[in-house]
Amino acid sequence: MKLKLSLLYILCFLALTFFIHEVHDWAHTLIAWLTTGCWGPRSFYTWSFCQENTPFGKQVLAIVVGPLVNFTVLWSGWQRMNTDEENRAEHSIGVTMVFAALPFNSLLSAFQGKGDLTTALRFLFPHGNHRFLSMVGLLIVAMICVPPLVKAFIVLPWWMGKLFFYPVFLVIPGILDQWLVGKMFNRWLIPPGTTQTAAYCWLIGWTLFTMALWLLTRSRLRTLISDEELPI
C-alpha cells in the first residue's frame, strides 16, 4: 500500500476544502435569511444577521447549521473508510473528506472556548457558567471529530501517510484557509467600504470557482492510496 501525493490531488483537495468552507458560511447566511427575511453582511470569513435584535432561537439555528455541514462531510468520510479493506479508492476519498472538513480547526476553536457549537450553547444557556459550557462544547466537538481522525490514521499507509500526510494535511489547510481566504481575500477583494452587493458577487464567484475546480479534478481523490505506483 502506497501514498500517491500528486500535484493534481493537492489542487483538488484544496478546492474541496475551500468549497466546504464556503458551503459552511452559505448555510449560516441562508438560514439567517430564511428566518429574518433579509440578507446580512458577509465577508470571506464572517457573516451576521441583518437585524440587531434577532430572537435567540433563530440565532442558534443559523449558528449550528454551519458546523453541521462540516460534520456531515467528516462522517461521510468516516463511512467511506469503513468499506472493504481492499477498496483503496473509497478509503482515499474518505481520508480526503475527513481532512477537507477541517476537524483540527473545529477542535482548536472549541479548546479555546470559541466555535459555533460553544457559541450556540451560550445562546441557549445565557446564565450558565462559561467555562463549563466551553468544556461541554469541546466534549461534543471531540466526540464528533476524533473517531474519523483516528480512522484516517489507521487507514493511511506508514511513513509517508502517517508521519507526513496526516499531520501536514491536518494542520496546514486550516492555516491556509484562515490566511488566504479569511485575511488576504478580505483585504484584496472586500476592503472597508465595499458594498454588500459587491461582496456577495465576490463570494458567489469564489464559491462557483472552487466548486468547478473540485469537480474537474475530483477523480484524483480516488488515487491517494494505492497498491501500485500511479502516473502524475
Could you read off the pLDDT of 152-178 as tens digits, one per residue?
999 999 888 999 999 999 999 999 999
Q: Which amino acid, 156?
A: L
Q: What DSSP element (H or E) covers 165?
A: none
Q: What integer is the mean pLDDT of 18-24?
A: 98
- The cell numbers describing 7, all together, are 500535484
Q: Which residue from 73, 115, 111, 104 is spatially nearest to 221, judged by alpha carbons?
A: 73
Asked if residue 206 lies in contact with residue 26, where contact means CB atoms within 8 angstroms, the answer is no
Convert the pLDDT of each residue in 46-69 to its tens digit.
999 988 777 888 899 999 999 999
d(CA 143, CA 78): 13
d(CA 93, CA 133): 34
- The cell numbers describing 54, all together, are 434577532
230 pLDDT more than 60: no
200 pLDDT more than 90: yes
d(CA 90, CA 11): 19
Residues near 24 by beta carbon (within 8 Å), at least 6 away in sequence = 66, 67, 69, 70
125 pLDDT more than 80: yes
193 pLDDT more than 80: yes
Q: What DSSP element (H or E) covers 128?
A: none
The residue assigned the cell 469503513 is: 82
231 pLDDT more than 50: no
Residues near 117 by beta carbon (within 8 Å), at least 6 away in sequence = 64, 67, 110, 137, 140, 141
Phi then psi for residue 79, to 5 deg, are -65, -40
Domain boundaries, the chain: 2-225
Q: What DSSP element (H or E) covers 11?
A: helix 7-36
> What's the per-residue H, E or C state across 129-149?
CHHHHHHHHHHHHHHHHHHHH
pTM of the prediction? 0.93
Q: How far is CA 198 from the centre of its chain?
A: 24
Question: Which pLDDT belongs to residue 86?
Answer: 76
Strands (E), the chain: 2-3, 225-226
Question: Which pLDDT belongs to residue 57?
Answer: 83
Query: Residue 42 pairs with which residues in a beta bridge?
Result: 47
115 pLDDT more than 50: yes
The distance between the two most distant Cα atoms of the chain, rounded to a whole number of Å, is 59
Question: Which pLDDT belongs to residue 228?
Answer: 61
